[in-house]
Amino acid sequence: ADIFTKRLGNDQFHAILHHIRFEHHDY
Protein backbone atom coordinates (compact mmCIF):
# COMPACT_ATOMS: atom_id res chain seq x y z
CA ALA A 1 0.00 0.00 0.00
CA ASP A 2 2.92 2.28 0.64
CA ILE A 3 4.15 2.02 -2.95
CA PHE A 4 0.70 2.88 -4.33
CA THR A 5 0.39 5.84 -1.98
CA LYS A 6 3.69 7.28 -3.15
CA ARG A 7 3.00 6.55 -6.80
CA LEU A 8 -0.54 7.92 -7.02
CA GLY A 9 -0.29 10.46 -4.28
CA ASN A 10 -2.14 10.68 -0.99
CA ASP A 11 -5.15 12.59 -2.32
CA GLN A 12 -5.67 10.35 -5.34
CA PHE A 13 -5.11 7.24 -3.24
CA HIS A 14 -7.79 8.23 -0.75
CA ALA A 15 -10.09 9.24 -3.60
CA ILE A 16 -9.77 5.78 -5.15
CA LEU A 17 -10.42 4.09 -1.81
CA HIS A 18 -13.47 6.26 -1.27
CA HIS A 19 -14.70 5.47 -4.78
CA ILE A 20 -14.28 1.73 -4.25
CA ARG A 21 -16.10 2.00 -0.94
CA PHE A 22 -18.98 3.76 -2.70
CA GLU A 23 -19.07 1.25 -5.54
CA HIS A 24 -19.23 -1.68 -3.14
CA HIS A 25 -21.90 -0.15 -0.94
CA ASP A 26 -24.18 -3.08 -1.66
CA TYR A 27 -24.11 -4.62 1.80
- Tell me the residue range of the domain where 13 lies: 1-27
The reported pLDDT for the residue numbered 10 is 73
Whole-model pTM: value is 0.33
Query: Residue 18 has what pLDDT?
Result: 77
At 4 the pLDDT is 62
Burial 1-27 (b: 16+ CB within 10 A, else e): eeeeeeeeeeeeeeeeeeeeeeeeeee
Residue 3, phi then psi, degrees to nearest 5:
-65, -45
Number of structural domains (the chain) is 1
* pLDDT tens, position by position, 1-27: 566 656 667 777 778 887 777 666 555
Q: What is the pLDDT of residue 22?
A: 67
